Amino acid sequence: MTDYHLLIDGQLVAGDQTMPVVNPATEEVLAQCPRASEAQLNAAVAAAKAAFPSWSRRPIAERRQMLLAWADGLEREADSLARLLTQEQGKPLSESTAEIAYTVYFIRHLAPLDLPVKVIEDNDTRLVEQYRRPLGVVGAIIPWNFPILLMAFKAPLALLAGNTMVIKPAPTTPLTTLRVGEIMAKVFPAGVVNIITDQNDLGPRMTAHRDIAKISFTGSSETGKKVMASAAETIKRITLELGGNDAAIVLPGADPDTVAPGIFGSAFMNAGQVCLAVKRVYVHDTLYDAVVERLARLADEAVVDDGLKQGTTVGPIQNRAQFDKVRAILDQARRDGRVVAGGTAEDRPGYFIRPTIVADIDDDAELVAQEQFGPVLPVLRFSDPEDALARANGTPWGLGGSVWGGDRELARDIALRMDAGQVWINKHLDFGPNIPFGGSKQSGIGVEFAEEGLAEFTQLHVVNEAR
């Protein structure tokens, strides 16, 4: 088995302990991974704190060039990184390849952003200027569904702003992140970026650590509440990108042959383990049967297998705990609705569940009311678009949503009133580094991407001079 190392103070080091990483397609141990101790976490934070003064004073143009060098290094290793990502995460190799490529794209498109001084007032009596200063050490906690891309949602902007970092990947998907750490060690000065791993025991230590100025967390809403409570002790800055229960509303007049593939692809990417995936579909009575039939056909045609195998379109659930959760949801869905495709776990090693379409189900069923985070999609009826909108908005979450229909005016009216951070019309899951991204309600606090995301990693600093 290949050796993996933590990155602490510019050095690739062994963990004080080790932990196994399982391939979800085989349930076999893929590698033994270093596991950091609390002492190693403290060493990583201390290294980041020591590196902060010189890194924050370095011209932003130099920080930018290092980010671009990091992107170049990722691009050179893209094939091996993608293969390793599929082995530990489970997604098809085509999706892993896209994740690495999109990571490079994000870094390169975020690196040119700047933090110019803004002159608020300049007259005979005073000069008022607004600056943006880095915060200090940023702790980034990354989930297991997109371990590399979600790092690129945080690290480029945090580093560009002049912060230093401690990055912690999820315990079930640490390996590709550690390989990325090897690339970063060759690019950034010692201590600027540190990567540690754990078994979900060091996260609370990070969020409470007095020398960490900000936590950027992506994960479930329940864990986000714990992060928020822990950060309150030191009044840390936080950015929380949390769970979603994204609704798609299919209006009368939409074309089922266009809508169904768009919704299916947005619901079942990465086996449905996407925060912004379509999680529930509301379809007008006049189209309901046609949309359900086409979604079921697409589900039946899906190739569920090891992500490294040619032709696989849906890989396994990433870990045993989530696999068991989705199987329990399937059992309830059979009682609460009508399973028209899928509905079974594969009888073989690996955490495989076939894409499942559930029709004739109500809003209070768990599959609809809670985020399933797996390859199971409920399809619900409506006759009045206002009713569909109210039902779509009637959850504690508001990460994303979409409206599908040929009547552009009606679609825009519904989209503008959808209570979500980002809403699409006749598409879903279309985002980019230049488009601000954040959730409403219990789907998060703060913004990622674009100038707004860069500002999240800074402290507003106003200088008001008498003339």
SS3 of the chain: helix, strand, coil, percent, to 5: 40, 25, 35
Choosing from 241, 371, 448, 456, which is the catalytic residue?
Answer: 241
DSSP H/E element including 214: strand 214-218
Distance CA 124, CA 114 (A): 29
- Joined together, the tokens standing for residue 208 give 């409470």
Phi, psi of 440 (to 5 degrees): -105, 170
Q: Where are the alpha helices (DSSP H) in 233-359?
A: 256-268, 288-301, 320-336
- Joined together, the tokens standing for residue 28 give 């076999």
38 is catalytic: no
* Long-range Cβ contact pairs of 76-79 (< 8 A, separation 24 or more): 77/179, 77/183, 78/104
Residue 114's contacts (CB-CB under 8 Å, 6 or more residues apart) are 60
Distance CA 247, CA 106 (A): 26
**Do 63 and 162 contact (CB within 8 A), yes or no?**
yes
Distance CA 357, CA 281 (A): 10
Distance CA 448, CA 216 (A): 10
Task: Give the residue numbers annotated as catalytic, written as ranges.
Answer: 241
